[in-house]
Amino acid sequence: MRKVSCLFGALILSIGLISCGGSGSDGGINNPPPPPPTCAANTFCMSSGSSFFIDGGGTTLSVAANTAVTWTNDSGIPHDVTFDDPTTALAVGGGSAGNIPQPASGSHQRQFAVSGSTHPFHCIIHGTPMHGTLNVL
């Protein structure tokens, strides 16, 4: 009888441990992936998960005249930004004007002075399917 009670006790303990082991979580197996990172205001992001330079559909941003616009590359992949008319891409502070050379990483700013103007650009490295447009309001 003692053996039976010990076995019965061990069986109850085992069932209790198994049934209490789950917390309702699937261990992350069926959790959806996190959303892609969002770009800061007035910024074109060149990062994994962003629409710019990823899907070939391009992206558009609209800003007021003389607003500092930032191109940020944290993708780990070299890209450049080549404007259809680089003379319209003005320097911000002590920074450079014109096209943005191949940055492996980092941020670069330009501003555009003429209201109602449109400034298309693309990546020379990866071709015109990787493009964007800046609209100045």
Report for 4-18, 19-33, 50-64, 78-92: range of highest mean pLDDT: 78-92
Q: Exposed, middle or buried by CB within 10 Å (0-12, 13-18, 19+), for 54?
A: middle
Give the tens place of pLDDT for each residue, 24-45. Answer: 555 657 777 655 557 788 888 8
Query: Is residue 49 a part of any domain in this protein?
Result: yes
Structural domains of the chain, count: 1
CATH code for position 131: 2.60.40.420
Query: Is residue 128 a part of any domain in this protein?
Result: yes
Q: What is the pLDDT of residue 59?
A: 83
Query: Is residue 3 a part of any domain in this protein?
Result: no
Query: Is residue 132 a part of any domain in this protein?
Result: yes
Query: Is residue 29 a part of any domain in this protein?
Result: no
The secondary structure element, H or E, covering residue 69 is strand 69-73
Structural domain for 103, as ranges? 43-136
Q: What is the pLDDT of residue 111?
A: 97
Query: Is residue 37 a part of any domain in this protein?
Result: no
Rounded to whole angstroms, how far apart are CA atoms 4 and 103? Answer: 74
Query: Is residue 121 a part of any domain in this protein?
Result: yes
Query: Is residue 38 a part of any domain in this protein?
Result: no
Contact between 80 and 96 (Cβ < 8 Å) = no
Give the tens place of pLDDT for each residue, 71-125. Answer: 988 888 888 999 999 999 999 999 999 999 987 678 999 999 999 999 999 988 8
Q: What is the pLDDT of residue 50?
A: 55
pTM exceeds cut of 0.85: no
Question: Residue 14 phi/psi, 5° resolution?
Answer: -65, -45
